[in-house]
Structure 1
Amino acid sequence: MTTPPSAIFIGRWDRADRAQIRVLSDLLADYHRQTESEKGTPVAAIDALPARYRPEVVDPVAAFAGDVVLLARSGDRGAGCVVITDAGQGRVEIKRLWTAPEYRGRRVASGLLDAFQSYAVAVGADTIRLSVWHWRADAIALYRKLGFTESPSWETREGLICMTRVV
């Protein structure tokens, strides 16, 4: 079965597929470059990213070895991704959620979050949690629309809002 180029397909990332590794790496590079730019420290090259983020772009297979990654694709192009980690005690956490700018407004993030919700139910999680930079008003509005509420912070980095939702 083929997917028309304009259709968005969301599925679990195949960490053995070189093309999908490249798609995820490219999405994460864009995500981190955008985030650093929003922080006021734009970076042009991956080598200039903060050390804590660089491995995600350079070797996502190793960086997310214990995580689940869902990819949104249009043909062989990356439209978005969500990285899911087990936060313990019945909680799953969104570590990264990104929609490529050219796919915004096409419900990619909502589709990824719906797929994530299905995953959370399947693994028996009772709570979904995430953290989001305080300046990302559109993302915060989407999370609130989907039932997330602000929670006491578990983050050590300033500027992050922590949010949770019951599954």
Structure 2
Amino acid sequence: MTDHGEVVVVRWPGQALPVDDSVAALLAAYHLRTEAEKGESVADVHGLPDRYRAEITDPRTAFAGDVVLVALLGDAAAGCLVVTSPVDGRSEIKRLWTDPGFRGRGIASALLDAALAHAAENGVATVRLSVWEWRTGAIALYERLGFTVTRPWDERDQLVCMQRSA
């Protein structure tokens, strides 16, 4: 567990906290917003691609072997982030999301700090992530934390790939 002032970051599953439904809700909000930003707006989670719907309907299975971090403000799940299991000394950060009602309180920074600490504790040499180029605020945050743009491993148009040492 990591404490950033009011923000507490916990590992899910594993903490004795009732956040299962909250994790699904955070992932749903992340995917719905991302699809809308890509110009592929869908009305609800049923319109999402199968791989994203699977994360929402059964996050325990979708992220089995990975670590899901959840930021709590009091009893409210305010954000989430996934750290993939290491492969060849690398882990990837995925699904960083802060509920819009809780933004501006350091939640994304707390989640990223906890993710980087987790990676370092588990012998990860490099942490990487991908972010849509229009998410300039997220890119600026990643750069402040030492991430740099690198050669893409994902060739989707408008996706920026970044990495840093753990």
Matches within 5 A, 1:13-32: 13-14=12-13, 19-32=18-31
What TM-score, normalized by structure 2, do the two folds share?
0.92
Distance 1:39 1:67, change over 3 A: same
Matches within 5 A, 1:139-154: 139-154=138-153
The SS at the match of 1:88 is coil
Distance 1:51 1:115, change over 3 A: same
* 1:43 to partner: Cα distance: 1.5
State the number of aligned residues: 163
Distance in 1 (CA, whole Å) between partners of 2:61 and 2:15 is: 12
Aligned counterpart, 1:70: 69
* 1:21 to partner: Cα distance: 1.3
The SS at the match of 1:33 is helix
Unaligned runs of 5+ in 2: none
Aligned counterpart, 1:94: 93
Aligned counterpart, 2:47: 48
Distance in 1 (CA, whole Å) between partners of 2:148 and 2:109 is: 17
Over aligned residue pairs, what C-alpha RMSD do you find? 1.9
Amino acid at match of 1:47: H
What TM-score, normalized by structure 1, do the two folds share?
0.91
Unaligned runs of 5+ in 1: 1-5
Matched, 1:108 2:85: no
Distance in 2 (CA, whole Å) between partners of 1:28 and 1:159 is: 21
Distance in 1 (CA, whole Å) between partners of 2:143 and 2:26 is: 24
Distance in 2 (CA, whole Å) between partners of 1:17 and 1:63 is: 20
Distance in 1 (CA, whole Å) between partners of 2:51 and 2:165 is: 29
Matched, 1:119 2:113: no
Q: Which range is displaced more, 110-119 or 79-88?
A: 79-88
Q: Which range is displaced more, 24-33 or 13-22?
A: 13-22
CA shift digits 1:10-64 (9 cap, x unpaired): 1111268683210100000000010011011211211101122110111101111
Distance in 2 (CA, whole Å) between partners of 1:17 and 1:123 is: 23
Aligned counterpart, 1:81: 80
Native 8 Å contact 1:92 1:127 kept in 2: yes
Distance in 2 (CA, whole Å) between partners of 1:87 and 1:115 is: 16
